[in-house]
Amino acid sequence: MNFRGKNIRLHVYLAHAGVSSRRAAEEIISQGRVTVNGTAVTGQGYKVNDGDVVLLDGKSVLPESRSLYLVLNKPQGYICSSHDPQGRPLALDLLSSQYKERLYSVGRLDFLSCGLILFTNDGAFASLLVHPASGIEKEYFVEAAGPISDAAVEAFINGITIEGVQYKAKTAERTGRKTMRITLIEGKNREIRRVFSHFHLHPNILRRVRIGPVVLGGLQEGKARPLTEKEIADFRASPHSPIQSSQKRSNTW
């Protein structure tokens, strides 16, 4: 995106530079991690002009020359973060050899979960994709350590409140004595694990197999690919399409 001659809000600038989503960029600014022309900026209304020097944690931040939209088949044992104080492997490490742009995950998969996760450097895309109003389905395959009870299945279907938080799947189907397929819309933090734990179950495998029109298919574990034109068209058909909102930008698929 060309910023020449424009006054761009700092959080928008950071998002287009592939630092994070716009909402996350606001938090980064409030933490005092960003400087413009040598001065720390913590206010959300600050605007960036062409020629300004923007640093994040002391490192230069420039708008990306192309927008990327990728899907990764994340293995277990990788964390969806830009860094980890515990030194655990990052899902980003699986992309760094092929893509040099700043990338960040759209949503998360926890350390022990595996399967589909989207990465981008388009902040507008990321913000709209994770918004509950987008209505984008996320489907999971779960294999438990023990038999899954009728009560657990019914809890996902009818809804259950655990420690004051309401959990409810869009669809839930037991596919075997120890296996289920679960579709979520909102996808609250560790929702499936919390419900399973409530029924004294442990997921040996928790794999996300679909995000909206994007399916796991034959994508190898640890590998990534760009979204296809068909997937882009299907996202565009959504009334809250993140792709549609981003299509005015110069995109590389």
Q: Active-site residues: which are they?
A: 110
What is the residue-wise DSSP string for 68-133? -EEEEEEPTT-B-SS--TT-PPBGGGGTTTT--S--EEES---TT-EEEEEEES-HHHHHHHHSGG
Q: How many Å apart are CA 130 and CA 76, to the nearest integer?
A: 22
Q: What's the chain's length in residues?
A: 253
Quote the CA–CA distance of 61 and 250 in Å, as a whole number. Answer: 19
CA–CA gap between residue 110 and residue 213 (Å, rounded): 22
